[in-house]
Structure 1
Amino acid sequence: MRNPFATDAVGFDTPIAMLIACHDRVRHYAGLLPKLAGHVAIHGADAEAARAAASILRYFDVAAPLHHQDEDDDLFPRLRERGDEVLRGRVDAIAAEHDVLGLQWQALRPALQALAAGRAVVLDADQVNAFARDYPAHAAREERELYPHATRLIGADEMAGIGRTMAARRTHKD
């Protein structure tokens, strides 16, 4: 059976490429939020809004936490262990952003759940815009400040092990 988290272009045998592919989906789903807010303001909680909200919920409730776990449990500890003081500081700062993004998501989630259920709500523009801005910025920062070091500091065999762990993490999810 094909892994639903893998893409046609990349798989878990290339974990950094897979993490970047996850970031592409982060950008996509975070970018849907302002569009959804605009749609709801005009059309209300129609079927299209419910489908979009359900799709956004599914991504940020399931895939995004797995992605953070990939980084927090598998990638970041290795970077901390092998990096210099500057890199360790970057890892710590970027890892801390996961908690901030999680809080932002939890603030948005109830309104999206209501929309997914077809109930009329108004999405808070400040919350929507902050999340749509901050999550992609976080992903770009990881790609710019951390991922290049991973390819330099982590050998191919160990990287393959990270990929296997990432795949197994998703296989065991309901």
Structure 2
Amino acid sequence: MNTAVDTDAPLNNFSNCHSGILKRLNALDELPALLEPAARARQIAEQSLEFFREAIFEHHLEEERELFPAVIASAKPGEELERVKAMTKRLTEEHRMVEALWKRLEKGLKQVAKGQSTDLDIGEVQRLVTEYTAHAAYEEAEFLPLSEVTLGRNSNHMAALGLSLHMRHVKPVAAYI
């Protein structure tokens, strides 16, 4: 039995395999451009996690424990007091809403910070940014100017608020006996 050997057959195994290899290499070539944005996403998520817990939650707490009661106590009875109460109620409700949004996002942000895949709700991230931006704008444009007028009528009220805030930020010093 003399069967003819197809001398081209071994080359057929090699001739078309390069197209698949080149396709994968072209995809790999995209990787460097994607690494920088991925690293930036991890960094932003990590910094946001730290900042939100340490700064924003603390900021809300200080406003609600120190600033809002001081302004309410210093407001003139009647229309001004009612306006201040309505403003502090609105701002407090906005604090809770933003904090609830944050809590829904926190798990996904932790995954991003670790470089893990996540189902982070981008719409909720944008909503958090939009809501907080509006909250800050209202507080800066409406509440804080009124607070300055209200507390400014009595320098003792402003000084008491300043001292109270200062004491919250001073680390206790251990007494040596």
Q: What TM-score, normalized by structure 1, do the two folds share?
A: 0.67
Q: CA deviation at 1:149?
A: 1.4
Structure 2 match to 1:58:
50
Number of aligned residue pairs: 132
Residue-by-residue CA offset, 1:12-49 (whole Å, 9 max, x unaligned): xxxxxxxxxxxxxxxxxxxxxxxxxxxxxx76993322
Residue number in structure 1 paired with 2:164: 165
Q: Does 1:119 align with 2:116?
A: yes
Deviation at 1:121, TM superposition (A): 1.4
Task: Call closer, same or farther: CA 1:170–1:121 in 2, change over 3 Å.
Answer: farther
User: Are the equivalent residues in 1 in contact too, given 2:41–2:112 (CA < 8 A)?
Assistant: yes
Q: 3-state SS of the aligned residue for 1:99?
A: helix
Any gaps of 5 or more consecutive residues in structure 2?
1-33, 76-80, 173-177
Q: Classify 1:104/1:74 alpha carbon distance in 2 versus 1 (closer, same or farther; 3 Å).
A: same
| Higher RCO (Cα < 8 Å, 6 or more apart) | 1
Counterpart among 94, 116, 124 of residue 97 in structure 1: 94
List 4+ stretches of structure 1 deviating above 4 A: 42-45
- Which structure: larger Rg? 2
What SS is found at the alignment partner of 2:50? helix
RMSD value, Cα: 2.3
Structure 1, unaligned runs of 5 or more: 1-41
Within 1, Cα distance between the matches of 2:94 and 2:133?
12
Matched, 1:80 2:75: no
Determine if contact 1:45/1:121 at 8 Å carries over to the other structure: no
Q: What's the TM-score, normalizing by structure 2?
A: 0.66
State percent identity of aligned pairs. Answer: 27
> Tell me, what secondary structure is at the counterpart of 1:62?
helix
